A and B are shown apart, each in its own frame.
Chain A
């Protein structure tokens, strides 16, 4: 625990330093400060994850906070680990990425300051065991991320996105406050342990259910569950790429953390809550990947795919909750460990993908798929990293993404023997839909990767793009390497996920309970390694075969059309078109087309974009409706003093009548 706080201290020191040094140094200072700080934080986490130890600390604060307990148990350590690692990558990458803003009179120093604020707030959140302090730190986290999002607030869309994000975060914190207060009023204490003692027993079932729903909604907004996900596709594109990588890779995971925490504190809620949670998770995964596969903006697509992955994690949690509800500790353990592992993996490859997108944006100044293309040859490192990341996020072996998904699938296969047809239906449908989501994500990411990096440039301007500096490629390549490593070392992932999962399920289950699929994972590791080897072998064979005959280079075979341009390539839109046609019923889409006319048509335009149903149907009308109602009242302050007095007198007379005769 001391080491942990030393790390935090280093972070804070870095914040101060980064303000003082001159602009061109700030990034460097941040990176150099974050590295040792992050490592210092990581060490106790790894220790606790491997040994299952917990390091408590507690101090007395004044009213109304009361006693504040900090606890670094494996559950907290897991998240702290994810955050610390994420912060290291983010700061190194950011030090390179922010170079493009130097000397433009932008608030770079504030940016780095809030970045480190965000790191610290996120690092502290998991260890805090007091509701009120938790809320405070939570809000600090939201605020600092808000300031990071509005870094380029002179742009209209960034500004709007930032405000939207702030409001969503505020709604979430209101929900959290309400949920916690409901609990605190009953338990009379803000300490999670006390809440646990009061509610774990299952007394106050309705209260704890209410609280769970409120809190799950609040955390769900942060995590990006349906239908409250719509801030992600707004805020992620708006923010600078390392920030969006951090937010999408790490910050939204704290929403998941909150939900798991609530399961730990309140015990498993009523069945119907578990079922609806699972259903929502499945829907999030589906809607997320559907929208993702139709976006033209790389970062929007990645944001939607975050919704999808959060959905997958949610499926794991849901299955685990069902397992707990049906008294099947194995399923619970598997579900939670699968969710945790997928969470860890997602923090790696989603960060990686956002960093890749950032690199592309930095060099080409566009995020629109229809202008990009052929970047692999110009940016091979970024391209490789992005390819590996895409493979990993599709959950394909031999990458880490597969491990998490596999365990989640497995936990569902385990549902047999637990009685209840409803459970079977839930399990099979989420099983199948998870598979479907996986397959669609293959579509989504082949599309993303190949339209950005494959083929030829669709726009003249981007042919000048070159590889980004090492400060940016290094983190990406390291993360990619970690993705592969996770794929070939699944047992290690399982190892570090077991203690946290055991704690969430109530700490009663010994970690060994998941021994059942140690050997599957072992075989998987073998096959993954084998796949890599075999690929190498075949490639070597190919090279050997071709060594004698030199390769003839020619143009792409245009099927008889011998004057191809890069414009006739398949674009992102056309790539996803067949699929969009299939899922037309559930996706609103608006098309603008100016068809070809005449014998020699000059210009024909066709463009379409997918509208996010939940945003257009739920979120926007809500906000606009409120604003409309409020503006309807704007006759009150009309500048005429007589009216002002009139209001007062009317109120006076009414209240007098009420007081006397009422």
Chain B
């Protein structure tokens, strides 16, 4: 602080504000709306609508491979997408093949099966309408293998049954047996690997959901190599809205993404505010510096 010029000191303080003050603001920007259950409404953008429309257009009994390529750390972002997609697929009577490229995805499959399919669609039969293929190591290498031979890697399902004893697996030979691949996650391995090693070489439609951080990176693949994409919690909220629009009965079900948009919006505004403040103080600071330099006889 400069005692001779308290005003300048003020701007300097703001410009070089302790990061912990920003942290505090962000903390409150999230806690308060969460406590007050503040929420916003969403409209589906074309890239999200494309995924919805594709599932909507699949005939009954089509085979959809859903890859759980995420971990607990991205559950808040990705789980709402999975829930909405599973509901939609169940409603359309599609066959759901669930697998994971991430070790952490393994448990998430069982949880999703319990929470959505078993609870909300009790008439669906394991092994006929849906199957848990579990996690296999190998990342893109795994995709590479199952592109030509699925059963080389999947000798059993996640429950330990011999793979050919699972009715819906009998006519599956490799990735090309599927009508649609949905990769959920966006990290590595994820959608990019599915496009590069599965969709492109096998000519199989790939769509998916990604964390918002990886979504921009996947834009170049859309729409030719990637059918559509749910980007981040906003994408999930849009899909939830589209689903409720198409099937109003889902309105009473949980829609965590829509709920989550509230706190995010507030925190977003706080960040925008800090960027604006940062720039204003930066310019005032620079003006002052220039002024001082002139006084000192140095003109730059």
A joins B in a complex = no
